[in-house]
Amino acid sequence: MMPLLKSRVFILLALLVTFAGTAVAGDITNNDPFSPVNNLIFDLSPTNGVTSRGAGDGPGQGVIVYQDTNITQMAMFLNMPNGGDIKYMIWDMNNGELAYSQTLAVGASDTMEWVLSNPFSFDLHAGTEYWFGVIADNNIDVGYIYPTINYSNNGLVADSSGNSNYTNYNDPQFNGYAASEIGLRLYSGGESTVPEPGTLLMLGSGIVASIGAARRKFRP
């Protein structure tokens, strides 16, 4: 009886350890937008300044992509003193086409915090750059980094040449570049395909050449 009892105790302990180390995935259909359900893969932070924008005005941050990546959430460091709706945006390399947008309600607050989008799925393709922006229908404060820093993670590189600006909440339009970086976090729920070293080197050369022209500098 004793060996049998010891075996059962061992099995029970093993099961407890297994369950204790198992993470429970969030239900993305009922997601709390302020609680991430995916892995943080890009974290351009901390910010050291705040840009205050009026309704229908907002900034963006460029990210240069060196490996194919699927992102499933994004976040920016912000607050809305009077509350309202924000629109998270993803633009193409030249800020000429709005590739994705999502509207999110934000409560009134004077405290800056990382405000997460709801879950989505968007493919970032190696060899290009994407601009992640935010614009609001009311006053908004957004965290920025100045002077700019060099940051990269998981094949994603922050564009340190300066942020983008956007206008017109209902029909967002690109409105020039500025001199700062905007605090940005990107999340992914899956694995990315890593290119060979030779391919990565060619991609890097091509991207640097395509964005080598100096950008105009305005306010953050």
Could you state, in order of their start, the residue ranges of all structural domains in the chain? 34-210
pTM: 0.75
Compute and round to an integer the Cα radius of gyration of the chain: 21
- Which residue do the tokens 């934000």 mark? 106
| 182 vs 153: CA distance, rounded Å | 16
**pLDDT confidence bin for 8, thresholds 50/70/90:** very low
Going from the C-alpha of 174 to that of each of 45, 69, 138, 145, the distances in angstroms are 24, 24, 18, 20
pLDDT in tens, 174-184: 999 999 999 99
| 113 vs 124: CA distance, rounded Å | 26
What percent of the chain is modeled with pLDDT above 70?
Answer: 70
pLDDT in tens, 157-166: 999 999 999 9
29 pLDDT exceeds 90? no
**Which of the following CATH numbers is that of domain 34-210: 3.90.1200, 1.10.20, 3.40.50, 2.60.120?**
2.60.120
Q: How far is CA 106 from the centre of its chain?
A: 17
| 116 vs 36: CA distance, rounded Å | 7
Length of the chain measured in residues:
220
